[in-house]
Chains A and B, each alone.
Chain A
Amino acid sequence: MSTQHPEVLALELYTAGDPGLDDAEVWSIEAHLETCEQCRQQQTGILARVDPSGADLLARVADGLDLQIAAGPPPAPAPARFAVRQRWAAWSLAPWTGMALGVLAAAWLLSRVSPGETSMVLLLAPVLPLLPVAGSWSRYADPAWELLAGSPRVGLWMLLRRTLAVLLVIIPALLLVSFMIGLAPALWLLPCLGLTLSTLALSEKLGVTNAAVGIWALWTVGVLLPSFWSADVPPVLSSSATPVWGALCLIAAAVVAIRARGYARL
Protein backbone atom coordinates (compact mmCIF):
# COMPACT_ATOMS: atom_id res chain seq x y z
CA MET A 1 0.00 0.00 0.00
CA SER A 2 1.26 3.48 -0.82
CA THR A 3 1.74 5.63 2.28
CA GLN A 4 1.36 8.80 0.21
CA HIS A 5 -2.30 9.78 0.58
CA PRO A 6 -3.91 11.74 -2.27
CA GLU A 7 -4.59 15.41 -1.62
CA VAL A 8 -8.08 16.32 -0.44
CA LEU A 9 -8.69 18.38 -3.57
CA ALA A 10 -7.76 15.44 -5.83
CA LEU A 11 -10.04 13.16 -3.81
CA GLU A 12 -12.90 15.67 -4.16
CA LEU A 13 -12.39 15.92 -7.92
CA TYR A 14 -12.23 12.10 -8.19
CA THR A 15 -15.41 11.69 -6.12
CA ALA A 16 -17.24 14.28 -8.20
CA GLY A 17 -16.11 12.57 -11.41
CA ASP A 18 -14.31 15.69 -12.60
CA PRO A 19 -12.96 15.19 -16.15
CA GLY A 20 -10.02 17.46 -15.30
CA LEU A 21 -8.21 14.53 -13.66
CA ASP A 22 -6.06 12.58 -16.10
CA ASP A 23 -6.19 8.78 -16.34
CA ALA A 24 -2.95 8.24 -14.42
CA GLU A 25 -4.25 10.25 -11.46
CA VAL A 26 -7.59 8.40 -11.49
CA TRP A 27 -5.86 4.99 -11.47
CA SER A 28 -3.48 6.09 -8.75
CA ILE A 29 -6.35 7.24 -6.51
CA GLU A 30 -8.35 4.07 -7.24
CA ALA A 31 -5.38 1.84 -6.34
CA HIS A 32 -4.81 3.78 -3.16
CA LEU A 33 -8.47 3.66 -2.09
CA GLU A 34 -8.52 -0.13 -2.44
CA THR A 35 -6.05 -0.48 0.40
CA CYS A 36 -6.50 2.69 2.51
CA GLU A 37 -9.39 2.62 4.97
CA GLN A 38 -8.63 6.17 6.13
CA CYS A 39 -9.03 7.66 2.65
CA ARG A 40 -12.16 5.62 1.95
CA GLN A 41 -13.75 7.13 5.05
CA GLN A 42 -12.63 10.54 3.94
CA GLN A 43 -14.15 9.94 0.53
CA THR A 44 -17.46 8.91 2.14
CA GLY A 45 -17.57 12.31 3.86
CA ILE A 46 -16.76 14.08 0.60
CA LEU A 47 -19.46 12.09 -1.20
CA ALA A 48 -22.08 13.17 1.35
CA ARG A 49 -21.06 16.78 0.80
CA VAL A 50 -20.58 16.75 -2.98
CA ASP A 51 -23.51 14.50 -3.89
CA PRO A 52 -25.91 13.92 -0.94
CA SER A 53 -27.89 11.43 -3.03
CA GLY A 54 -24.71 9.33 -3.36
CA ALA A 55 -24.44 8.68 0.39
CA ASP A 56 -27.05 5.94 0.22
CA LEU A 57 -25.44 4.44 -2.90
CA LEU A 58 -25.04 0.98 -1.41
CA ALA A 59 -28.67 0.85 -0.30
CA ARG A 60 -29.81 1.93 -3.78
CA VAL A 61 -27.61 -0.68 -5.48
CA ALA A 62 -28.97 -3.38 -3.15
CA ASP A 63 -32.57 -2.28 -3.83
CA GLY A 64 -31.88 -2.36 -7.57
CA LEU A 65 -30.46 -5.87 -7.34
CA ASP A 66 -33.47 -7.05 -5.31
CA LEU A 67 -35.79 -5.70 -8.03
CA GLN A 68 -33.79 -7.41 -10.78
CA ILE A 69 -33.77 -10.71 -8.86
CA ALA A 70 -37.53 -10.48 -8.28
CA ALA A 71 -38.15 -9.75 -11.98
CA GLY A 72 -35.85 -12.53 -13.24
CA PRO A 73 -36.55 -16.25 -13.51
CA PRO A 74 -36.45 -18.29 -10.26
CA PRO A 75 -33.30 -20.31 -9.56
CA ALA A 76 -33.35 -23.76 -11.13
CA PRO A 77 -34.30 -26.40 -8.54
CA ALA A 78 -32.12 -29.46 -8.02
CA PRO A 79 -33.19 -32.41 -10.20
CA ALA A 80 -35.99 -34.25 -8.39
CA ARG A 81 -34.49 -37.64 -9.22
CA PHE A 82 -31.26 -36.83 -7.41
CA ALA A 83 -33.06 -35.18 -4.50
CA VAL A 84 -35.03 -38.37 -3.86
CA ARG A 85 -31.92 -40.53 -4.14
CA GLN A 86 -30.03 -38.15 -1.88
CA ARG A 87 -32.55 -37.72 0.88
CA TRP A 88 -34.56 -40.90 1.12
CA ALA A 89 -32.94 -43.87 -0.43
CA ALA A 90 -29.76 -45.66 0.45
CA TRP A 91 -27.88 -46.80 -2.61
CA SER A 92 -27.89 -50.29 -1.15
CA LEU A 93 -31.68 -50.40 -0.74
CA ALA A 94 -32.49 -51.31 -4.34
CA PRO A 95 -30.99 -54.84 -4.61
CA TRP A 96 -32.26 -55.88 -1.18
CA THR A 97 -35.73 -54.54 -1.86
CA GLY A 98 -35.65 -56.35 -5.19
CA MET A 99 -34.70 -59.56 -3.40
CA ALA A 100 -37.62 -59.13 -0.97
CA LEU A 101 -39.97 -58.62 -3.92
CA GLY A 102 -38.51 -61.77 -5.48
CA VAL A 103 -39.27 -63.73 -2.29
CA LEU A 104 -42.81 -62.33 -2.39
CA ALA A 105 -43.21 -63.40 -6.02
CA ALA A 106 -42.02 -66.93 -5.13
CA ALA A 107 -44.48 -67.06 -2.21
CA TRP A 108 -47.29 -65.97 -4.53
CA LEU A 109 -46.39 -68.75 -7.00
CA LEU A 110 -46.35 -71.32 -4.19
CA SER A 111 -49.78 -70.10 -3.05
CA ARG A 112 -51.09 -70.69 -6.58
CA VAL A 113 -49.52 -74.16 -6.76
CA SER A 114 -50.97 -75.35 -3.43
CA PRO A 115 -53.98 -73.17 -2.65
CA GLY A 116 -55.19 -75.40 0.21
CA GLU A 117 -52.15 -74.82 2.44
CA THR A 118 -51.56 -71.81 4.68
CA SER A 119 -50.51 -69.10 2.30
CA MET A 120 -46.74 -68.57 2.08
CA VAL A 121 -47.55 -64.91 1.44
CA LEU A 122 -49.19 -64.70 4.86
CA LEU A 123 -46.32 -66.57 6.52
CA LEU A 124 -43.60 -64.38 4.98
CA ALA A 125 -45.34 -61.00 4.91
CA PRO A 126 -44.49 -60.03 8.53
CA VAL A 127 -40.74 -60.45 8.01
CA LEU A 128 -40.51 -59.38 4.38
CA PRO A 129 -39.44 -55.73 5.04
CA LEU A 130 -36.68 -56.83 7.42
CA LEU A 131 -34.41 -58.00 4.61
CA PRO A 132 -34.07 -54.59 2.88
CA VAL A 133 -34.08 -52.72 6.20
CA ALA A 134 -31.09 -54.81 7.30
CA GLY A 135 -29.44 -54.41 3.90
CA SER A 136 -29.71 -50.64 3.98
CA TRP A 137 -27.58 -50.53 7.15
CA SER A 138 -25.12 -53.29 6.37
CA ARG A 139 -21.48 -52.26 6.16
CA TYR A 140 -21.03 -55.03 3.62
CA ALA A 141 -23.88 -53.88 1.38
CA ASP A 142 -23.34 -50.10 1.55
CA PRO A 143 -20.00 -49.12 -0.02
CA ALA A 144 -20.00 -45.74 1.71
CA TRP A 145 -20.97 -47.17 5.11
CA GLU A 146 -17.75 -45.97 6.75
CA LEU A 147 -18.41 -42.38 5.66
CA LEU A 148 -22.06 -42.63 6.63
CA ALA A 149 -21.25 -44.01 10.10
CA GLY A 150 -19.14 -40.93 10.86
CA SER A 151 -21.68 -38.38 9.68
CA PRO A 152 -24.09 -36.34 11.83
CA ARG A 153 -27.12 -37.43 9.76
CA VAL A 154 -26.75 -40.98 11.05
CA GLY A 155 -29.36 -41.56 13.69
CA LEU A 156 -32.98 -42.38 14.23
CA TRP A 157 -34.35 -40.05 11.55
CA MET A 158 -32.22 -41.54 8.81
CA LEU A 159 -33.13 -45.04 10.01
CA LEU A 160 -36.83 -44.14 9.95
CA ARG A 161 -36.53 -42.58 6.49
CA ARG A 162 -34.89 -45.67 5.05
CA THR A 163 -37.37 -47.95 6.78
CA LEU A 164 -40.24 -45.89 5.41
CA ALA A 165 -38.71 -46.08 1.92
CA VAL A 166 -38.68 -49.89 2.25
CA LEU A 167 -42.27 -50.03 3.53
CA LEU A 168 -43.47 -47.76 0.72
CA VAL A 169 -42.33 -50.43 -1.74
CA ILE A 170 -43.07 -53.62 0.19
CA ILE A 171 -46.52 -52.79 1.63
CA PRO A 172 -48.15 -51.90 -1.74
CA ALA A 173 -46.63 -55.04 -3.27
CA LEU A 174 -48.04 -57.13 -0.42
CA LEU A 175 -51.44 -55.45 -0.80
CA LEU A 176 -51.43 -56.23 -4.51
CA VAL A 177 -50.54 -59.90 -3.99
CA SER A 178 -53.05 -60.19 -1.12
CA PHE A 179 -55.75 -58.83 -3.43
CA MET A 180 -54.75 -61.33 -6.14
CA ILE A 181 -54.95 -64.38 -3.83
CA GLY A 182 -57.86 -63.16 -1.69
CA LEU A 183 -55.90 -62.73 1.54
CA ALA A 184 -57.16 -60.23 4.13
CA PRO A 185 -54.43 -57.56 4.70
CA ALA A 186 -55.59 -57.22 8.30
CA LEU A 187 -53.97 -60.60 9.01
CA TRP A 188 -50.43 -59.50 8.10
CA LEU A 189 -50.34 -55.69 8.28
CA LEU A 190 -50.00 -55.32 12.06
CA PRO A 191 -47.51 -58.24 12.36
CA CYS A 192 -45.48 -56.67 9.56
CA LEU A 193 -45.38 -53.27 11.27
CA GLY A 194 -44.85 -54.88 14.69
CA LEU A 195 -41.79 -56.85 13.63
CA THR A 196 -40.34 -53.91 11.69
CA LEU A 197 -40.73 -51.63 14.71
CA SER A 198 -39.28 -54.36 16.97
CA THR A 199 -36.24 -54.53 14.69
CA LEU A 200 -35.77 -50.79 15.02
CA ALA A 201 -36.20 -50.98 18.79
CA LEU A 202 -33.64 -53.78 19.16
CA SER A 203 -31.20 -52.23 16.71
CA GLU A 204 -30.17 -49.54 19.18
CA LYS A 205 -28.37 -52.24 21.20
CA LEU A 206 -27.75 -55.00 18.65
CA GLY A 207 -27.29 -53.11 15.38
CA VAL A 208 -29.88 -53.13 12.60
CA THR A 209 -28.53 -56.17 10.75
CA ASN A 210 -28.22 -58.31 13.90
CA ALA A 211 -31.70 -57.32 15.07
CA ALA A 212 -33.27 -58.11 11.68
CA VAL A 213 -31.45 -61.42 11.30
CA GLY A 214 -32.40 -62.40 14.87
CA ILE A 215 -36.10 -61.71 14.30
CA TRP A 216 -35.99 -63.56 10.95
CA ALA A 217 -34.44 -66.58 12.72
CA LEU A 218 -37.00 -66.53 15.53
CA TRP A 219 -39.86 -66.23 13.01
CA THR A 220 -38.47 -69.10 10.94
CA VAL A 221 -38.09 -71.40 13.94
CA GLY A 222 -41.25 -70.33 15.77
CA VAL A 223 -43.75 -69.84 12.92
CA LEU A 224 -42.48 -70.76 9.47
CA LEU A 225 -41.11 -74.27 10.09
CA PRO A 226 -44.00 -75.48 12.32
CA SER A 227 -46.48 -74.40 9.63
CA PHE A 228 -45.08 -77.06 7.28
CA TRP A 229 -46.36 -79.75 9.65
CA SER A 230 -49.71 -78.15 10.32
CA ALA A 231 -52.48 -77.18 7.95
CA ASP A 232 -53.86 -74.61 10.39
CA VAL A 233 -53.04 -70.91 10.30
CA PRO A 234 -50.43 -70.26 13.06
CA PRO A 235 -52.09 -68.69 16.13
CA VAL A 236 -49.87 -65.60 15.89
CA LEU A 237 -51.38 -64.85 12.47
CA SER A 238 -55.00 -65.45 13.42
CA SER A 239 -57.40 -62.56 13.87
CA SER A 240 -57.46 -63.19 17.63
CA ALA A 241 -53.76 -62.16 17.83
CA THR A 242 -54.46 -58.69 16.46
CA PRO A 243 -54.57 -56.97 19.89
CA VAL A 244 -51.22 -58.53 20.77
CA TRP A 245 -49.65 -57.21 17.57
CA GLY A 246 -51.17 -53.79 18.23
CA ALA A 247 -49.65 -53.77 21.70
CA LEU A 248 -46.26 -54.84 20.28
CA CYS A 249 -46.38 -51.97 17.79
CA LEU A 250 -47.07 -49.46 20.56
CA ILE A 251 -44.39 -50.83 22.88
CA ALA A 252 -41.75 -51.01 20.15
CA ALA A 253 -42.59 -47.48 18.96
CA ALA A 254 -42.34 -46.22 22.54
CA VAL A 255 -38.93 -47.88 23.01
CA VAL A 256 -37.69 -46.31 19.76
CA ALA A 257 -38.93 -42.86 20.85
CA ILE A 258 -37.44 -43.14 24.35
CA ARG A 259 -34.06 -44.37 23.07
CA ALA A 260 -33.97 -41.93 20.12
CA ARG A 261 -30.60 -40.42 21.13
CA GLY A 262 -28.98 -43.83 21.26
CA TYR A 263 -29.05 -44.38 17.49
CA ALA A 264 -25.99 -42.25 16.77
CA ARG A 265 -23.81 -45.36 16.43
CA LEU A 266 -25.19 -48.01 14.10
Chain B
Amino acid sequence: MRSVSAAETAPTQYAWPVEAEDLKVRAGRTMAVDGLDLRLSTGVHGLLGPNGAGKTTLIRALATVLPPAGGQLQLLGRGTAKGSDLREIRRELGYLPQHFGFYPRFTVREFIEYMAWLKEMPDRQVTAAGQRAIDRVALSSHADKKLKALSGGMLRRVGIAQAIVHDPRLVLLDEPTVGLDPAQRVGFRDLLREIGGDTCVLVSTHLVEDVSAACSNVIVMASGRQVWQGTPAQLSALGGPDDPGDSPTERGYSAALGQAGGWG
Protein backbone atom coordinates (compact mmCIF):
# COMPACT_ATOMS: atom_id res chain seq x y z
CA MET B 1 0.00 0.00 0.00
CA ARG B 2 1.31 3.48 -0.86
CA SER B 3 2.20 5.56 2.19
CA VAL B 4 0.49 8.93 2.54
CA SER B 5 2.88 11.85 2.86
CA ALA B 6 2.35 14.83 5.13
CA ALA B 7 2.08 16.97 2.01
CA GLU B 8 -1.05 15.13 0.95
CA THR B 9 -2.92 15.44 4.22
CA ALA B 10 -1.95 18.98 5.27
CA PRO B 11 -4.25 21.74 4.04
CA THR B 12 -2.86 24.17 1.50
CA GLN B 13 -3.56 27.87 1.89
CA TYR B 14 -2.13 29.12 -1.37
CA ALA B 15 -3.21 29.07 -4.97
CA TRP B 16 0.25 28.64 -6.51
CA PRO B 17 3.25 26.81 -5.04
CA VAL B 18 5.46 29.20 -7.04
CA GLU B 19 4.38 32.74 -7.83
CA ALA B 20 6.86 35.31 -9.17
CA GLU B 21 6.09 38.76 -10.41
CA ASP B 22 8.68 40.94 -12.13
CA LEU B 23 11.33 38.81 -10.39
CA LYS B 24 14.94 39.95 -10.69
CA VAL B 25 17.88 37.87 -9.47
CA ARG B 26 21.57 38.64 -9.74
CA ALA B 27 24.25 36.07 -10.53
CA GLY B 28 27.40 37.94 -9.56
CA ARG B 29 27.20 41.28 -11.35
CA THR B 30 24.79 40.07 -14.03
CA MET B 31 21.02 40.36 -13.71
CA ALA B 32 20.51 36.77 -14.84
CA VAL B 33 16.76 36.76 -14.15
CA ASP B 34 15.32 40.07 -15.24
CA GLY B 35 11.62 40.72 -14.86
CA LEU B 36 10.28 37.16 -14.79
CA ASP B 37 6.56 36.49 -14.28
CA LEU B 38 5.83 32.88 -13.38
CA ARG B 39 3.05 30.86 -11.79
CA LEU B 40 3.44 27.13 -11.22
CA SER B 41 0.79 24.73 -9.93
CA THR B 42 1.07 21.09 -8.82
CA GLY B 43 2.59 18.91 -11.54
CA VAL B 44 5.87 18.51 -13.39
CA HIS B 45 7.13 21.64 -15.13
CA GLY B 46 10.02 21.58 -17.56
CA LEU B 47 12.31 24.60 -17.74
CA LEU B 48 14.05 24.95 -21.09
CA GLY B 49 16.36 27.60 -22.40
CA PRO B 50 19.73 28.13 -24.03
CA ASN B 51 22.95 28.55 -22.03
CA GLY B 52 22.88 31.84 -20.11
CA ALA B 53 19.08 32.07 -20.20
CA GLY B 54 18.97 32.27 -16.39
CA LYS B 55 17.59 28.79 -15.65
CA THR B 56 20.09 27.90 -12.93
CA THR B 57 19.87 31.36 -11.35
CA LEU B 58 16.08 31.06 -11.26
CA ILE B 59 16.28 27.59 -9.67
CA ARG B 60 18.77 28.87 -7.08
CA ALA B 61 16.46 31.76 -6.21
CA LEU B 62 13.49 29.39 -5.90
CA ALA B 63 15.68 27.18 -3.66
CA THR B 64 16.20 30.29 -1.46
CA VAL B 65 19.97 30.12 -2.00
CA LEU B 66 20.00 33.45 -3.85
CA PRO B 67 17.92 36.40 -2.63
CA PRO B 68 15.73 38.25 -5.15
CA ALA B 69 17.18 41.58 -6.26
CA GLY B 70 13.72 42.91 -7.12
CA GLY B 71 10.10 42.01 -7.72
CA GLN B 72 7.91 39.62 -5.77
CA LEU B 73 8.52 35.95 -5.01
CA GLN B 74 6.07 33.74 -3.12
CA LEU B 75 6.90 30.09 -2.48
CA LEU B 76 4.26 27.80 -0.98
CA GLY B 77 2.25 30.86 -0.05
CA ARG B 78 5.06 32.64 1.81
CA GLY B 79 7.35 35.52 0.97
CA THR B 80 11.11 34.96 0.96
CA ALA B 81 12.18 38.09 2.84
CA LYS B 82 11.67 37.02 6.47
CA GLY B 83 13.89 34.43 8.12
CA SER B 84 10.96 32.61 9.75
CA ASP B 85 9.18 32.26 6.38
CA LEU B 86 12.40 31.02 4.76
CA ARG B 87 12.67 28.28 7.34
CA GLU B 88 9.10 27.12 6.73
CA ILE B 89 9.63 27.16 2.95
CA ARG B 90 12.88 25.20 3.20
CA ARG B 91 11.21 22.47 5.26
CA GLU B 92 8.94 21.77 2.31
CA LEU B 93 11.48 22.23 -0.45
CA GLY B 94 13.64 19.64 -2.19
CA TYR B 95 16.57 20.86 -4.26
CA LEU B 96 19.10 19.20 -6.53
CA PRO B 97 21.71 21.75 -7.64
CA GLN B 98 23.38 21.64 -11.02
CA HIS B 99 26.73 20.96 -9.35
CA PHE B 100 25.80 18.39 -6.72
CA GLY B 101 28.33 18.62 -3.90
CA PHE B 102 28.67 15.80 -1.38
CA TYR B 103 30.89 14.48 1.39
CA PRO B 104 32.86 11.64 -0.24
CA ARG B 105 33.42 9.68 2.98
CA PHE B 106 29.72 9.50 3.81
CA THR B 107 27.82 6.40 2.74
CA VAL B 108 24.69 6.83 0.64
CA ARG B 109 22.54 6.16 3.71
CA GLU B 110 24.49 8.55 5.95
CA PHE B 111 24.28 11.32 3.38
CA ILE B 112 20.54 10.91 2.77
CA GLU B 113 19.88 10.79 6.52
CA TYR B 114 22.09 13.86 7.06
CA MET B 115 20.05 15.71 4.44
CA ALA B 116 16.82 14.56 6.13
CA TRP B 117 18.19 15.95 9.40
CA LEU B 118 19.05 19.24 7.67
CA LYS B 119 15.43 19.36 6.50
CA GLU B 120 14.34 19.08 10.16
CA MET B 121 12.60 15.74 9.80
CA PRO B 122 11.66 14.23 13.17
CA ASP B 123 14.45 11.85 14.31
CA ARG B 124 12.17 8.82 14.50
CA GLN B 125 11.21 9.21 10.81
CA VAL B 126 14.68 9.78 9.37
CA THR B 127 15.77 6.15 8.98
CA ALA B 128 12.58 4.96 7.29
CA ALA B 129 12.37 8.05 5.08
CA GLY B 130 16.01 7.60 4.04
CA GLN B 131 15.43 3.97 3.10
CA ARG B 132 12.28 4.89 1.14
CA ALA B 133 14.15 7.58 -0.82
CA ILE B 134 17.01 5.16 -1.56
CA ASP B 135 14.51 2.55 -2.78
CA ARG B 136 12.77 5.09 -5.03
CA VAL B 137 15.99 5.82 -6.92
CA ALA B 138 16.91 2.10 -7.04
CA LEU B 139 20.08 2.41 -4.94
CA SER B 140 19.17 -0.11 -2.23
CA SER B 141 22.07 -2.40 -3.10
CA HIS B 142 24.52 0.52 -2.81
CA ALA B 143 23.07 2.09 0.36
CA ASP B 144 26.11 1.33 2.50
CA LYS B 145 28.76 2.23 -0.07
CA LYS B 146 30.76 5.41 0.34
CA LEU B 147 29.83 8.20 -2.06
CA LYS B 148 33.37 8.38 -3.39
CA ALA B 149 32.94 4.81 -4.71
CA LEU B 150 29.86 5.59 -6.83
CA SER B 151 29.65 6.37 -10.54
CA GLY B 152 28.42 9.74 -11.84
CA GLY B 153 24.98 8.37 -12.63
CA MET B 154 24.63 6.83 -9.16
CA LEU B 155 25.68 10.12 -7.55
CA ARG B 156 23.01 11.90 -9.56
CA ARG B 157 20.48 9.41 -8.18
CA VAL B 158 21.75 10.11 -4.65
CA GLY B 159 21.14 13.78 -5.42
CA ILE B 160 17.58 13.04 -6.45
CA ALA B 161 17.04 10.89 -3.33
CA GLN B 162 18.19 13.66 -0.99
CA ALA B 163 15.84 16.08 -2.74
CA ILE B 164 12.75 13.92 -2.12
CA VAL B 165 13.65 12.28 1.21
CA HIS B 166 11.31 14.52 3.22
CA ASP B 167 8.30 14.37 0.83
CA PRO B 168 8.57 18.05 -0.10
CA ARG B 169 5.73 20.08 -1.63
CA LEU B 170 8.10 21.85 -4.01
CA VAL B 171 10.93 20.03 -5.79
CA LEU B 172 13.57 21.86 -7.83
CA LEU B 173 15.86 19.76 -10.00
CA ASP B 174 18.64 21.37 -12.02
CA GLU B 175 19.84 19.11 -14.83
CA PRO B 176 18.84 15.92 -12.97
CA THR B 177 19.41 13.54 -15.90
CA VAL B 178 23.04 14.49 -16.55
CA GLY B 179 25.11 11.32 -16.26
CA LEU B 180 22.15 8.94 -16.29
CA ASP B 181 22.12 6.18 -18.87
CA PRO B 182 19.01 5.76 -21.10
CA ALA B 183 17.40 3.12 -18.85
CA GLN B 184 17.98 5.25 -15.75
CA ARG B 185 16.49 8.26 -17.53
CA VAL B 186 13.33 6.31 -18.32
CA GLY B 187 13.12 5.26 -14.66
CA PHE B 188 13.68 8.86 -13.59
CA ARG B 189 10.85 10.07 -15.81
CA ASP B 190 8.52 7.54 -14.13
CA LEU B 191 9.65 8.82 -10.74
CA LEU B 192 9.03 12.41 -11.85
CA ARG B 193 5.49 11.60 -12.93
CA GLU B 194 4.88 9.84 -9.59
CA ILE B 195 6.20 12.78 -7.55
CA GLY B 196 4.37 15.31 -9.69
CA GLY B 197 1.00 13.79 -8.81
CA ASP B 198 0.80 15.79 -5.60
CA THR B 199 3.87 18.05 -5.72
CA CYS B 200 5.07 21.01 -7.74
CA VAL B 201 8.22 19.86 -9.55
CA LEU B 202 10.37 22.19 -11.64
CA VAL B 203 12.99 20.46 -13.79
CA SER B 204 15.62 22.54 -15.53
CA THR B 205 17.13 20.65 -18.44
CA HIS B 206 18.59 21.05 -21.87
CA LEU B 207 17.19 17.66 -22.97
CA VAL B 208 13.95 18.42 -24.75
CA GLU B 209 12.95 14.74 -24.86
CA ASP B 210 12.90 14.62 -21.01
CA VAL B 211 10.42 17.47 -21.02
CA SER B 212 8.15 15.94 -23.61
CA ALA B 213 8.19 12.56 -21.83
CA ALA B 214 7.64 13.61 -18.23
CA CYS B 215 6.32 17.17 -17.96
CA SER B 216 2.78 18.48 -17.99
CA ASN B 217 3.89 22.06 -18.57
CA VAL B 218 6.87 23.67 -20.29
CA ILE B 219 8.47 27.04 -19.63
CA VAL B 220 10.96 28.41 -22.13
CA MET B 221 13.37 31.07 -20.85
CA ALA B 222 15.66 33.39 -22.76
CA SER B 223 17.69 36.37 -21.55
CA GLY B 224 16.34 36.10 -18.01
CA ARG B 225 12.67 36.11 -18.97
CA GLN B 226 9.94 33.61 -19.67
CA VAL B 227 9.27 33.67 -23.41
CA TRP B 228 6.81 30.81 -23.73
CA GLN B 229 4.68 28.58 -21.50
CA GLY B 230 2.34 25.73 -22.44
CA THR B 231 1.98 21.96 -22.66
CA PRO B 232 4.51 19.74 -24.45
CA ALA B 233 1.85 19.09 -27.14
CA GLN B 234 1.44 22.83 -27.69
CA LEU B 235 5.22 23.20 -27.90
CA SER B 236 5.41 20.43 -30.49
CA ALA B 237 2.63 22.06 -32.49
CA LEU B 238 4.51 25.36 -32.48
CA GLY B 239 7.35 24.06 -34.63
CA GLY B 240 7.33 24.09 -38.38
CA PRO B 241 9.29 21.91 -40.81
CA ASP B 242 11.89 24.65 -41.27
CA ASP B 243 12.67 25.00 -37.56
CA PRO B 244 15.87 23.24 -36.45
CA GLY B 245 15.48 20.05 -34.42
CA ASP B 246 15.23 16.26 -34.64
CA SER B 247 11.77 15.92 -33.11
CA PRO B 248 8.54 17.93 -33.12
CA THR B 249 9.26 19.12 -29.55
CA GLU B 250 12.77 20.26 -30.47
CA ARG B 251 11.39 22.11 -33.50
CA GLY B 252 8.74 23.69 -31.28
CA TYR B 253 11.41 24.72 -28.79
CA SER B 254 13.43 26.32 -31.60
CA ALA B 255 10.30 28.12 -32.78
CA ALA B 256 9.57 29.44 -29.27
CA LEU B 257 13.09 30.79 -29.01
CA GLY B 258 12.86 32.21 -32.53
CA GLN B 259 9.70 34.09 -31.60
CA ALA B 260 11.55 35.53 -28.62
CA GLY B 261 14.36 36.83 -30.80
CA GLY B 262 16.85 33.98 -31.01
CA TRP B 263 19.04 31.97 -28.69
CA GLY B 264 19.57 34.71 -26.15
Asked if A150 contacts B64 (CB within 8 A), the reply is: yes
Contact with A along B237-262 (1 / 0, CB 8 A): 00000000000000000000000000
Asked if A261 contacts B82 (CB within 8 A), the reply is: yes
Asked if B63 contacts A150 (CB within 8 A), the reply is: yes
Given the complex, which residues of B lie within 8 Å of A230, measured CB to CB? none
Asked if B118 contacts A147 (CB within 8 A), the reply is: yes
Q: Which residue of chain A is the closest to B89 with respect to CB atoms?
A: A152
B29 within 8 A of A: no
Given the complex, which residues of B lie within 8 Å of A143, measured CB to CB? 101-104
Task: For the complex formed, measure the closest distance between the CB of B209 and the CB atoms of chain A, giving whole angstroms.
Answer: 27
Task: Decide: A150 near B90, CB < 8 A? Known: A82-B110, A264-B83.
Answer: yes
B2 within 8 A of A: no
B24 within 8 A of A: no
A151 within 8 A of B: yes
Candidates A87, A144, A149, A153; contact of B65 at CB < 8 Å: A149
Given the complex, which residues of B lie within 8 Å of A148, measured CB to CB? 118
Q: Which residue of chain A is the closest to B113 with respect to CB atoms?
A: A86
Asked if B87 contacts A145 (CB within 8 A), the reply is: no
Q: Looking at the complex, which of B92-100, B176-184, B213-221 is the stretch in contact with chain A?
A: B92-100
Within 8 A of A (CB), among B71-113: 82-84, 86-88, 90-91, 93, 95, 97, 99, 101-105, 110, 113
Asked if A263 contacts B65 (CB within 8 A), the reply is: no
Task: For the complex formed, measure the closest distance between the CB of A55 and the CB atoms of chain B, giving whole angstroms.
Answer: 26
Asked if B101 contacts A151 (CB within 8 A), the reply is: no
Asked if B101 contacts A144 (CB within 8 A), the reply is: yes
The distance in angstroms between the C-alpha atoms of A4 and B156, with both chains bound, is 51
B120 within 8 A of A: yes
Task: Decide: A144 near B103, CB < 8 A? Known: A150-B93, A261-B83, A262-B83.
Answer: yes
B117 within 8 A of A: yes
Given the complex, which residues of B lie within 8 Å of A261, measured CB to CB? 82-84
Task: Decide: A155 near B83, CB < 8 A? Known: A146-B97, A265-B67.
Answer: yes
A82, A152, A265 interface centre (most CB from chain B within 10 Å)? A152
Asked if B102 contacts A86 (CB within 8 A), the reply is: no
Measured CB to CB, the residues of A under 8 A from B are: 82, 86-87, 91, 142-155, 261-265
Pick 26 A–B contacts, CB within 8 A, sort by A: A82-B110, A86-B113, A86-B114, A142-B101, A143-B101, A144-B101, A146-B60, A146-B95, A146-B101, A147-B97, A148-B118, A149-B64, A149-B65, A150-B63, A150-B64, A150-B65, A150-B90, A152-B119, A152-B120, A153-B117, A153-B119, A153-B120, A155-B87, A261-B82, A261-B84, A264-B86
Given A146-B60, A146-B99, output 18 extra A-B contacts at Cβ < 8 Å. A87-B117, A143-B104, A146-B95, A146-B101, A148-B118, A149-B65, A150-B63, A150-B64, A152-B88, A152-B90, A152-B119, A153-B118, A153-B120, A154-B90, A155-B87, A261-B84, A263-B83, A265-B64
Which 7 A/B pairs are nearest by Cβ-Cβ distance?
Answer: A143-B101, A264-B83, A261-B83, A151-B118, A152-B90, A146-B97, A150-B63
